[in-house]
Chain A
Amino acid sequence: MRVSAIGCTAVTASLLVALAACGGREAAAPSTAASGSGSGECQGQQTTGITDTSIKLGGIYPLSGPASAYGDIPKGIKAYFDYINAEKNGIGGRKVEFVVRDDGYQPPKAVEEARRLVEQEQVFALFQTLGTPSTTATWDYTNQQKVPQVFVATGASKWGSDTAHPWTIGWQPNYISEARVYAQYLKQERPDAKVAVLYQNDDFGKDLLGGFKKAIEGSKITVAAEQSYEVSDPSVDPQMRNLAGSKADVLLNITTPKFGSQALAADAKNTSWNPLHIVNNVAASITVLKPVGFPNVQGVVSSTYYKDPNDPKWKDDPEMMLYYAKMKQYAPDADPTVPYHTFGWAVASSFHKAMEAAKCPTREGLRDAMRALQNVQVDMLLPGVTLNTAADDGFPIESMQLMKFQGERWELFGDVIDTRKEFGPLTN
C-alpha cells in the first residue's frame, strides 16, 4: 500500500510539473507588466519585487513532514534579515522581506508554492528551495520566468554543472566536492586504502559515490565493495554484513540520517571489523550520532564548511558572538546551538554579499552577480572557505575541512581542502 501511495505521489508530481511548464509562458506577461523596469545601463531589466527601499524574497522549506528538521534553516535566515533590517538599514538601504512557504518536502507542493511566490507574492527572487527533489521540480519554472533561484539548499552537482538553467545556483559544497575531500584525505593518510561503500540508491548517493571513484583514479586506493540501500528498506544491517565480508580498511558511509545511525551502530557492534569510518556531511549531525552512543562513534571522520555553534573553538569568534546575541534578540524561541540555524545565518549573509555585489538592482543583476563571486568572505564559514564563482563555475563553495568525532563533539583537523585547486574544475 505504501508503495502504491508513493507511486501516486510521483505521478501527481510529474503531472503538476507538466502543468507548471505549460502554464508558465502565459503567466510571464502580467508579472512583468505589473512592475517597472530598470533605468540607465540596467534599462529593460526586471525589477519585480524590488524598490529603492525594499526587496522581497521567497523561500520554500519542509516545515512539516519527515524532513521538517530542516525547517529550522529559515529561522536562522529570518533572524539575520531582521537584524540587518533593524540595525544595518537592510541591504544597501533596502529592507528585506522574507516570505517562507511549506512544501512538506513534496515536489508538487514546491511547484505550487513557487508559482504562488512568483505570481501572487511577486517576489524578487526565490532565496532557497530545500532538497534535490523540490528544487528539481521548480527549476524549469523559475528559469522560464527568469526569476533568480539563489543558493538552493541541496548538494546535488547539477545546480552548478547544468548550463540550461542560468537562474538557479547552489551554495553548499556539492556531493562531488565532498567526495573529493575524502579522497584527498585517504591519499595522504591511507594511500593503499581498500574502501567499502554504503550508499543510498538515488541521485544523492550516486553523485557522491561517482565523485569518489573519479577522484581516486590514478591512485592506489580501490573500492573493494559497494552496497546500496533503498529508503524503503527497514534496515541496512544486511548491507553492512556484506561490506564487513570485504575486509576493507575504510568504510565510506553515504547515507541520510536514520540509515547513518543504523550503519554506525552496525559498525560499532561488529568487533571483528574495524575500518576507518567516514560518514558524509548529510548524516554527520549530532542528532545522528547521539542515538548510537558517543562511545561507539569515537574517531569517525567527516567534513564541514561552516562554524559549529557548539565548538568552543569559536567561543570568542566575533561572528559567532554576534550570531548568539542576535539569535537571542530576534529569534528568542529558537535554540542557537542547533546548526541548522547557523546554516541559515551563513547562507543569508552570503545572499547579502551577493546582492551587494550586483551591478544592477534587478533580477538580471542578481543572476550575473551569483556567477561572479570572487573570494567573497562570509564570516560564518570556516576561515579559508570563501565563495567563488565564474561564468563557467556555478559552485560557490568547493572547500571543506575534515573533522573527527572526539568526546562529545566534532573536532576540526588538517587544513581546509580546496577541491577545485586539488582536482580542477568540476565538469560533467
Chain B
Amino acid sequence: MAGFLQEIVEGLGAGAIYASLALALVLIYQFTGIVNFAQGELAMFSAYIAWQFMAAGLPFWLALVLTLAVSFVGGMLIERVVIRPVEGAPELTVVIVTVGLFIFVNAAAGWIWSFLIKDFPNPFPGGAIEAGGLSLGYSTLGIMAVVGVVMGLLYLLFQHTKVGLGMRAVASNPSSARLVGIRVGWTLALGWGLAATVGAVSGILVAPLLFLEPNMMGGVLIYAFAAATLGGFDSPVGAVVGGLVVGVAETLAGAYVGFIGSDLKVGVPLVIILFILLLRPQGLFGRAAVERA
C-alpha cells in the first residue's frame, strides 16, 4: 500500500512538471488562439539564459528575475518579428511557423551552448519529508507550490482584469476586438511575452531534475500537450489538474500495468489526448466553443 501511495506521490511530482509547461501553453492559447509548439524549446532556452547568468557568477534569485525579464522581452520580440508577418493568416500557417521556431530554437541552443549536458542548481533543498513510509521530496513540494502560485495568478489575470478580458476578446474575434478599441497587436505581443515568462519558470523548475541540454523539453512537451488537452486549453486550473492526472496515470500505468511497463509509458499521454478529443473536445474544465447560427 505504501508502495502504491509512493507511486502516486511520484506521479504528482512528474505531473507538476508537465503542469508547469501546460500553463504556458494555455496562456498563449488564451491570448492568441493558437497552440505554440515552440513553447517547450523557449522554456529550455530560458533555462540556458538562467544558467548563463549563474555561470557569470550571479546568485540564483537574481538570475531568476533577470531571466524572467529577458524571457518576457524575448517573447514579445518573437511575436513582433516572427509571428506578426503571418498574423491573420490561417491558424495552420501560424502553427507551422511555431514548428519552425521549435527547430530553430533547438538548433540555436545547441550551437551556442553545445549538446553536452549541464548541471543546474536546484533552488529547493535536497531532502524529503518522511511520514508513514512515504517520502515527499522538498523539491517536489517546491515545484507544486510554484505551479500553484502561477496558476492562481493566471486565473486572476484571465477572469478579473481588463487585460484578461481584452485578450479573450482578441483570441475569440480579432477584428471585432479591434473595432471596440482593443490594441490587438500589443495584446498578442503581451501574450507571447507572458507565455515565455511562464515557460521560463517551467524551464528553471525542470532543468535541475532532467539536466540541462537542448532536447530537455522535447519529452515534457508531449505530456504538457496531453495535460492541456485533458484540462481544457482555456483553463489554467484545468491545465494543472490535467498535468497531475497525466503524471499519476503515466506513473501508475508504468508501474502496475504489466504490458505497458516502461516501454509503452510514453503512449499513455497520446491515448489520453485521443480519448479526450473524442469524448469531450473542450477538455474537463474548458468551455465548448459556441457558434452563432
Contact = CB atoms under 8 A, between A and B. Distances in A.
B254 A66 contact: no
B90 interface: no
Given A66-B115, A287-B116, A292-B119, A239 B222 contact: no
Residue of A1, A67, A201, A269 with highest tally of chain B CB at under 10 A: A1
Residue of B107, B110, B116, B265 with highest tally of chain A CB at under 10 A: B116
Interface string A264-287: 010001000000000000000001
B207 to A, nearest CB: 11
A202 to B, nearest CB: 11
Contact of B110 (A3, A65, A201, A269): A65
A13 to B, nearest CB: 17
B99 A1 contact: yes
B192 to A, nearest CB: 19
B10 A241 contact: yes
A317 interface: no
A288 B110 contact: no
Given A242-B255, A261-B117, A234 B263 contact: no
Contacts of A235: 14, 209-210, 219
Residue of B7, B115, B223 with highest tally of chain A CB at under 10 A: B115
Given A67-B115, A238-B262, A291-B118, A233 B219 contact: yes
Interface stretch (A136-144, A167-175, A222-230): A222-230
Contacts of A262: 210-211
A73 to B, nearest CB: 15
Contact of A66 (B3, B110, B223): B110
Interface string B193-228: 000000000000000011101111011111100000
Interface size class of B (residues with CB under 8 A): 35 or more
Contacts of B266: 230, 232-233
Interface string A1-37: 1110100000000000000000000000000000000
Contacts of B262: 227-229, 238-239, 242
A285 B264 CA distance: 29
Interface in A121-172: none
Nearest to A291: B119
Given A3-B222, A65-B110, A257-B117, A230 B263 contact: yes
Nearest to B11: A238
Interface in B247-270: 250-251, 254-255, 261-263, 265-266
Nearest to A229: B262
A44 interface: no
Residue of A64, A201, A237, A258 with highest tally of chain B CB at under 10 A: A258
Contacts of A269: 126
A3 B267 CA distance: 11
Contacts of A238: 10, 14, 250-251, 254-255, 262, 265
A290 interface: yes
Contacts of A293: 119
Contacts of B93: none
A85 interface: no
Nearest to A245: B3
A68 B115 contact: yes
Given A232-B222, A258-B213, A69 B265 contact: no
Interface string A41-64: 000000000000000000000001
B114 interface: yes
B233 interface: no
A68 B251 CA distance: 33
A267 to B, nearest CB: 14
B147 to A, nearest CB: 16
Contacts of A258: 117, 211, 213, 215
Contacts of B210: 234-235, 262
Nearest to A230: B266
Given A229-B262, A234-B223, A288 B215 contact: no
Nearest to B118: A291
Nearest to B135: A272
B37 interface: yes
Contacts of A66: 110, 115, 214-215
Contacts of B213: 258
Contacts of A257: 116-117
Given A68-B114, A237-B14, A242-B254, 15 more contacts: A2-B221, A3-B222, A64-B110, A65-B115, A66-B115, A227-B262, A228-B262, A229-B262, A230-B263, A238-B14, A242-B262, A245-B3, A269-B126, A288-B117, A291-B119
11 contacts: A5-B99, A68-B110, A68-B115, A227-B262, A229-B262, A232-B218, A234-B210, A235-B209, A239-B262, A269-B126, A291-B118
Query: Top 7 A-B pairs ranked by shortest CB distance?
Result: A234-B219, A291-B119, A234-B220, A227-B262, A66-B115, A261-B211, A239-B262
